[in-house]
Amino acid sequence: MPLTVAIVGRPNVGKSTLFNRLAGKRLAIVDDTPGVTRDRSFAESNLLGLHLRVIDTAGFEEGPVESLPSRMTGQTIAAIGEADVCLFVVDARAGVTAGDEIIANALRKSGKPVVVAANKSEGLRAHAGANEAFALGFGEPIALSAEHALGLEELRDALAVFAPEDAFFRDDDDEEGEGEEGVLRPLRLAIVGRPNVGKSSLLNRMLGEERSLTGPEAGITRDAVLAEWRYEGREILLHDTAGMRRKARIEEKLEKLSVQSTLHAVRFADCVVVVMDANDALEKQDLTIADLISREGRAIVFGVNKWDTIKDRGAAMKELRERVDRLLPQVTGTPIVPLSALTGEGMERLMPAVMEAERVWNKRVPTAALNRFLEDALSRHPPPAIHGRRVRIRYMTQAKARPPTFALFGNQLQALPESYLRYLTNAMRNAFGLPGTPIRLSLRSNKNPYAD
């Protein structure tokens, strides 16, 4: 069982840099702008043999009730409540400030153990600031540099005092649990869409808690928020992502970093829920996002949010189905789930659609069945002639799943027009029950022995 550690502190003291260092990869957006982190992010860490569950948090900021800074502080307080120990990060270059004193008082009231880390201690001028941290009353501070990986051994020793016995990795831990049969791998599910369509509200509704910040302001989410969840015994890794606007409208560096984080979440997802506003569905940016996901080869489900505001639902659903199949022929038959993250209406249909989309995405077709299909497809619609010579497709097989990828073998296959490849793709989609999932064709022409 890992030791849960909440990283807390003022804005811009290096909490996200330390979080990335402990996680061993770049998960949180790091920038000189204060207040980049808004939601709390989680990651597993092996800190020199100590198993940690690390929580990155927003800085403590004062503001009116229900304002964005106030809601961000609420996320930090929730992280402190979940933690076994709090890692209080201060800036060794700046020394102890009034903001640090306020946070120290809040941590004392929480009753949780506290370890103070004086970050940015790589320079000589930082020693005085690190020594000032003694005045906070939490014992000897750890001088470290998250950017340069200094002081991690001392940090590990300080945290180990609070760790249970089973939080320490053994040499044989990597060998345990391997080869278990019948254990399904976690389903990685990303939630993407334009800004302010209700992605974070949908995540919170699925989890049954306020895991991600929501509000009327567009662009609240910046980092891809990762949450662990279980659905009917299946482990789900949920990614809430930042909204994606048209590339021409993205000017700020932070928004570019947020979009990069979203693209990273899509690339590592198994299935992606594309959230759309029911009152403005299938806008050009929705189509661009769906096409990007298709090119990445991920299973897709359309979640049409704010369905509770639609009056003529039958006509709206019929129009949506027709437009999806017409405007996105590469993913014809993609599941469309009308729902309301605010009221919970339609939520019971979302995960069954996701699980079915993943099943189709993983589907394998026997080679014998494929070649019977190919023979019938070629007889109904033969390939065109290229320079007076008929293109010959000899046979086909499935190269891999996730997404379904099929290899065609024959002569002059590179000359096949796109229209004929679409004919084969759509025919396979109907013949083998592959609605909505991206289908890839790999063309493998035989080498001409007389070409040289």
pLDDT on residue 255:
55
Q: What is the pTM of this model?
A: 0.69
Q: Which residues, 6+ apart, have CB-to-CB distance to 275 below 8 Å?
A: 191, 192, 193, 197, 198, 199, 202, 303, 305
> Does residue 173 lie within any of the structural domains?
no
Q: What is the CATH number of the domain that holds 391?
A: 3.30.300.20
Q: Of 361, 389, 420, which residue sits at a domain end?
A: 361
The CATH number of residue 338's host domain is 3.40.50.300
In a domain? residue 71: yes
Asked if 313 and 325 count as a contact pair (C-beta separation under 8 A), the reply is: no
**In the prediction, which pLDDT does 177 show?**
39
pLDDT attached to residue 182: 46
Q: Please tell me whether residues 371 and 356 are part of one structural domain.
A: no
pLDDT in tens, 125-160: 667 777 888 888 888 888 888 888 888 999 999 999
> Tokens at residue 173, please?
């831990």
Within 13 Å and on the Cβ side, how many CA atoms surround 322? 6
Q: Which two tokens stand for residue 172?
A: 């044989």
Do 144 and 195 share a structural domain? no
Which DSSP string corresponds to 120-170?
---STTHHHHHHHGGGGSSSSPEE-BTTTTBSHHHHHHHHHTT--GGGB--
Provide the token pair at 37.
Answer: 């982190």
Question: Do residue 152 and residue 292 come from a single domain?
Answer: no
- Where does 250-380 have alpha helices with state H? 253-267, 284-296, 313-327, 350-361, 367-380
pLDDT of residue 449: 56
In a domain, 432, yes or no: yes
Q: Which residue in this structure is represented by tokens 């880390």?
A: 117
Same domain, 8 and 149: yes
Tell me, yes or no, whether 325 and 389 share the same domain: no
Q: Are 403 and 299 in contact (CB under 8 A)?
A: yes
**In a domain? residue 137:** yes
On whether both 139 and 247 belong to a single domain, the answer is no
341 and 431 co-located in one domain = no
273 & 198 share domain: yes
Does some domain include residue 177?
no
Four-point Cα dihedral 295, 300, 306, 307, nearest 10: 130
Could you read off the pLDDT tens digit of each residue along the chain, which spans 452 residues?
A: 889 999 998 888 888 889 888 888 776 655 555 555 556 777 888 888 899 989 888 777 666 555 655 667 777 888 888 899 999 999 888 888 888 898 898 899 889 999 999 988 886 666 777 788 888 888 888 888 888 888 899 999 999 989 888 888 765 544 433 334 445 678 999 999 988 898 888 988 998 887 665 655 555 555 567 788 889 888 998 888 877 766 555 555 555 666 777 788 888 889 999 999 999 999 999 999 999 999 999 999 999 999 999 999 999 999 999 999 999 999 999 999 999 999 999 999 999 999 999 999 999 999 999 999 999 999 999 988 877 778 889 999 999 999 999 999 998 888 888 999 999 999 999 999 999 899 999 998 776 555 55
> What total number of domains does the chain contain?
3
The verdict on residue 451 lying in a domain is no
**What's the CA gap between 116 and 137, in Å, rounded?**
9
Query: Among 60, 49, 57, 110, which Cα is nearest to 85's?
Result: 110
Tokens at residue 289, please? Answer: 């996002």
Residue after which a domain boundary falls, among 108, 137, 167 = 167
Beta pairing class for 299-305 and 440-445: unpaired
Measured CA to CA, the distance from residue 404 to residue 398 in angstroms comes to 7
Domain range spanning residue 238?
A: 187-361
Residues 373 and 357 in one domain: no
112 and 67 assigned to the same domain: yes
Tell whether 253 and 154 lie within a shared domain.
no
Q: Does residue 212 lie in a domain region?
A: yes
pLDDT of residue 113: 92
d(CA 74, CA 355): 33
Quick one: 208 and 243 in the same domain?
A: yes
Q: Which of 313, 332, 361 is the last residue of a domain?
A: 361
Q: Which residues pair with 168 in a beta bridge?
A: 50
CA 365 to chain CA mean position, Å: 29
Kindly state whether residue 406 falls inside one of the protein's structural domains: yes
- DSSP lists the bridge partners of residue 445 as 410
